[in-house]
Structures are given as structure tokens and as C-alpha cells.
Amino acid sequence: MKLLVIEDEAKIASLLKKGLQEQGFSVDISGDGEDGLERATKTPYDAIVIDIMLPKRDGLSVLKTLRTRKVTAPVMIITARGDVNERVEGLNLGADDYMAKPFSMDEVVARVRALVRRVTGETITLYKIGDLMMNLVTREVTRGTRRVNLTAREFRLLEHLMRLPGQVVTRTQLIERVWEYHFDPGTNLVDVYIQRLRRKIDDGEDMKLIQTVRGVGYCVRAE
């Protein structure tokens, strides 16, 4: 899969390129809006990542021109965390997704894969967050070189968390998706299973991947 990243901050561009290449993507980098627009117009990319704040031509202008020129590659825009209006404008101009700075590299990879999958119909069978890997075909989970043995319910719970790396999933959402209850059973069922996952995945590890967002829910994130 061939990607274009239009980002003028060298450190962020380097981070994105390295992280995406490690996941098997071919990545071109452009440092300003005019060059990025030219590249995106002339080369068929599977997805394009565009920062809004760019020299020469801003990211929203690049996006608008791409859609005017019938470039249909899925686009993810990168915004400052508080710029809600820019996100809305970007989506209205034809962006397919957005990321707010600062971002998690694992989440960027997952979102880019999702964009490509929408267009190509490719099915994801392997999830990776930090050194935690889940294979949906073989039903195997590993943490580094260590195999993690999970029950069917634990596997399903972890799968739902890993599908949305870095994003908080509420207890209600997990009850609906993992247990298929359409009501709150009024128990600590989710908390009990999260503790089981923590013991199997995080115990003895320096980096704790399964995180609690107090009063909201849980997420899997590599800090």
C-alpha cells in the first residue's frame, strides 16, 4: 500500500514515515501544501495524510482542490487538538477521517488501515499495539515472545479494545459488543474481565497497555 504524508514538521513526518513503514506501507513525504497537491494529483496513492497547518498552501485548501480534481484516495487530516471547527470543515470538504495532535502511532496505523480497507475491501486479520499482537485467524495472542492464553470471552473483549487503539471504549459499549446485553446488568462484569486481561497481559511488564479512564471506560494504548 502506497501512502502520501503531507507534513511540514520534520520530526512528526519522520515519526509517521517510520511507524507506517514498520507496518508494511510505502510512504512518500511532502513538506508543503503545493508540493503535496502536485504529488497527490500525479501519483495514485492508496491513502493520503494531510496536516492542516502547512506552508505555501494549507491542508484544507489541498483537500478541497483534490476533491475538485476528482482525486478519490481516502484522506485523513491532522489537526490541533482544540480545532473542532477545522475538523468539521475538513470532513465537509471530503476528508474521510481526522487525527488530533498529539497522537498515538498505533492509532494512526489503525485508522489508515481502516481507510484503505474501506476502499479495497481488505480484511484485517492481525492487530498490533506495542509488543502485543493478536491474530484473528489463528486466535493467538502474544506479548513480545510470550504467548498469552485467553478464554473465548477474554479474546473477544481484547479484540474490541484492539480494534480501536488509543480510543476509550465505555463499559456500556463493551457489555453490548462482547456480552450482547442491551441493558446494564448492574454488575462489575466488565471490570472483572479487564482485571483478568491485565493479569495475563500486563503483569510483569514495564509498559502497561490496558488502561482505565476513570468514570468512562477502558482502552489499549502503548505510551
Q: b/e for 10-45, b at 16 or more Cβ within 10 A?
A: eebbebbbebbeebebebbbbbebebbbebbeeeeb
Domain range summary for the chain, segments of one domain joined by + = 2-120, 126-220
Q: 2-120 in CATH: which number? A: 3.40.50.2300
Please give the model's pTM, rounded to 2 decimal places: 0.56
Please check the confidence at residue 185 and state whether its pLDDT lies above 70. Answer: no
Q: How much is the pLDDT for 56?
A: 93
Q: b/e for 82-115, b at 16 or more Cβ within 10 A?
A: ebeebbebbeebebbbbbeeebbbbbbbbbbbbb
Over residues 98-118, the pLDDT tens digits come to 888 878 787 888 888 888 777
Please check the confidence at residue 184 and state whether its pLDDT lies above 70. Answer: no
CB 209 within 8 A of CB 201: yes
DSSP letter for 123, please.
P
CATH 1.10.10.10 fits 126-220, yes or no: yes
